[in-house]
Amino acid sequence: MSWMEVLAKTYDNCIGEVGINRGTNKNPILLLPLSHLTVNAIAEIILNENGDFLGANKVDKNDQITIVPVTEDSASRSSGISPFPMADKLSYIAADYDDVSKDEKSYKAHYKAYIENLHKWADLPDTPVKVRAICVYLDKGTVMRDLISVGVYDGKDGFVRFIVNGNSTEPEETRTWLDKEIWDNFINYYNTTFEDCDIDYVTGERCMTTDKLPAKIRSTADGAKLISSNDTSGYTYRGRFVDAKSAASIGYETSQKAHNALRWLIAKQGYRNDSECIVCWSIGGEEMPPIISSTDDMIDSWRDDKDEVLSDTDESFAKQLNKYIAGYKQEIGVNTRAIVMAVDTADGSIKGRLAITYYQELEGSRLLENLHKWHRECSWKHYVKKGDKGHYYVGAPSPREIVLCAYGTQQGAFVSADGKMIKRNIDRILPCIVQGKRFPKDIMRAAVRNAGNPQRFSRYNWNNILTWTCAVIIKCQYDYGKEVFKMALNKESTDRDYLFGRLLAVAHKLEDYVNFKSGNSERETNAMKYWSAYAQKPARTYETIRRGLQSYISRLSKGSRDYYQQLTEEIFDKLAQTDSFNNEPLNENYLLGYYSQMAEFRKNNKNNNMEEQ
């Protein structure tokens, strides 16, 4: 199916959500009725069913979101006169606006266009009484005088909504912007105003079509459109088509359903990658897991007990991940279709044209399998701070964290990178998660280079970069058929690079231990100072580091001195087995060896100063 057909079907399957705000008034999550948008109202006028003025209120900032009927023209108005069908700005609905406005411009024409348009709907026999009451009141031309009399007008133009109190003794919805009868009546009325019918290229049916497709997709301020054909004087049709419909025609109802569904999905569960929006959903409305999250955040969003944290052991992690995926499998049947879609503008602005930068439709079960594979294979042990608390967890870092570990720099207290760089590389990682494609090696290599410069980062940030990089290395080992190293120290491995990483960890730990005992825990070790050179010429650089260690060794107790000497000799014996103590540059495995050896030290002494905090 096409993306528009998928979104339209999603709208039909989630019709029960129409008009229900699942978010807040500040950040609404609304599946809108067809031919409706939301605006921020500044005032509300209270009427009775006869159109008599009963009062008015200023609208609290936390309650301004208002659902209003719109036409194609009013939905995209920027200049000219295009009135909304019912609720609109004072400059449109008030015949006496010019009497109090300080604007030199006259708005008589705005009111005239508005009231004529409203009468076309209100004068129909089946139009709701509340709409007729509004029309009767506005015909009187006393809006500004009435608002001033009750102290509501503050000199600003803005949207006004209506409350119409009925005569019925039964409870009823008096707020016109929430009245489903008015929504449905306007939709039916507006559909009768279309004169031309054509083939809807999405459904294949003959129906009312449109060439004015909506904007405001990523946010209420978004002016970019996914489809547009308004370039009648440029290059759009030259040499190919006579008009826009010669290229394609889209049904008005299909367009409304598709765009309303996409807006709702982005607000409800979209991931914002700078100006790009990425959203994952199912056509049937089944809940889908987050796909652009770390394992910790992903499982935290599902866990009932928020005080419980993701386990920091490999075995327990596997059990929790399996339990998490199994929970979704109960909801997602064999026929569930999952869609992942990303939209963005070429220059990252809120103007111009939106492009679909990624689109993938697959079975829901396949998506879960790929997601499980990603979090299982791209996993390592990490430490994360959330507020004043912190905890360890085993799992995959988020795509953003992966990009930061590859291209980030220390900026203040945080690791940051160029927004376009982050966006571009998250787009490259997305198919690895959704489709199970192989991880890009160049991102892994960039992360290894960045992790090889610990002096550029604070200790906490570098430890994060190190563990994120280790996760990416493991993922590449799975993807490209190499030996996969586990987090636990492999004391039997004779891999040259892994052993050099262990050797560096021993040198660092020895010196850092002595510094800690002497009260200089923040002092940088020679291993950290010479890290970059060590990665390029390990044998020669190690000799420099070893000479610097002599004064530290003499300050150790006999037991500690024997421990470090024995451990160093064991590593050298393994290097000698393959005659690999040389100056060939180290590959990424040295980071795994370094981390695993340091983790072994921490396991042996939980109070060691090298805790990643």
- Give the pLDDT of residue 611: 38
Query: Does the structure show a pLDDT above 90 at 192?
Result: yes
Q: What is the pLDDT of residue 232?
A: 56
d(Cα 607, Cα 601) in Å, to the nearest integer? 10
Provide the pLDDT confidence category of residue 540 given band limits of 50, 70 and 90. very high
Closest by CA position to 165, among listed 130, 118, 119, 125: 130
- Tokens linked to 351: 């103007």
What's the rounded mean pLDDT across residues 62-84?
A: 91
Per-residue pLDDT tens digits for 30-66:
999 999 999 999 999 999 999 999 999 999 999 999 9
For residue 609, what pLDDT is reported? Answer: 41
Mean pLDDT of 205-229: 85
pLDDT of residue 26: 82
Supply the pLDDT for residue 306: 47
DSSP secondary structure, 162-222, as one string: EEEE-S-SS----BGGG-HHHHHHHHHHHHTT---EEE-TTT--EEEEES-----SSSTT-
Arithmetic mean of pLDDT, 439-448: 98
Please, which residues have CB within 8 angstroms of residue 100's CB and are 6 or more apart in sequence?
144, 148, 153
Kindly tell me if the per-residue pLDDT of 200 is higher than 60: yes
pTM metric for this prediction: 0.88
Asked if 275 and 227 count as a contact pair (C-beta separation under 8 A), the reply is no
Give how far Cα 100 sits from Cα of 81, 104, 136, 170, 339, Å. Answer: 20, 11, 22, 40, 53
The answer to whether residue 363 scores a pLDDT higher than 50 is yes
Q: Is the pLDDT of residue 612 over 50?
A: no
CB 332 within 8 A of CB 317: no
Q: Which amino acid type is present at position 252?
A: Y
> What is the tens place of the pLDDT at every residue in 373-423?
999 999 999 999 877 888 899 999 999 999 999 999 999 999 999 999 999
Asked if the model's pLDDT at residue 431 lies above 70, the reply is yes
State residue 309's pLDDT score: 56
* Residue 247 banded pLDDT, cuts 50, 70, 90: low
The pLDDT of 525-548, averaged and rounded, is 96
Return the H-helix or E-strand segment holding 254: helix 252-269
The more confident residue out of 134 and 210 is 134
Positive/negative CA dihedral, 356, 358, 359, 364: negative
- What is the structure's pLDDT at 213? 83
pLDDT of amino acid 608: 43
DSSP letter at 25?
S
Residue 309 gets which letter from DSSP? -
610 — pLDDT class (breaks 50, 70, 90): very low
Read off the pLDDT band of 237 (50, 70, 90): low
- Mean of the per-residue pLDDT values of the chain: 91
Type of residue numbered 329: K
Res. 245: pLDDT tops 80: no
Is the pLDDT assigned to residue 301 strictly greater than 90?
no
- For the chain, what percent of residues have pLDDT higher than 70? 93
Q: What is the mean pLDDT of residues 232-255?
A: 68
In this prediction, residues 241-269 reach a mean pLDDT of: 85
pLDDT over 70 at 492, yes or no: yes
**What pLDDT is recorded for position 433?**
97
Region 19-24: mean pLDDT is 91
Give the confidence band of 334 by pLDDT, cuts at 50, 70, 90. Answer: confident
Q: What is the pLDDT of residues 174-189, one digit of tens each?
A: 999 999 999 999 999 9
pLDDT at 150 over 60: yes
Helices (H), 280-418: 295-300, 314-331, 364-377, 399-407
Better pLDDT: 147 or 249? 147
Split at pLDDT 50, 70, 90, the class of 104 is: confident
pLDDT at 583 over 70: yes
As separate numbers, helices (DSSP H) first and strands (DSSP E) second, the chain gives 23, 16
In this prediction, residues 219-228 reach a mean pLDDT of 85
Residue 613 is predicted with a pLDDT of 28
Question: What is the rounded average pLDDT of the residues 118-130?
Answer: 97
The residue with tokens 């489709």 is 435
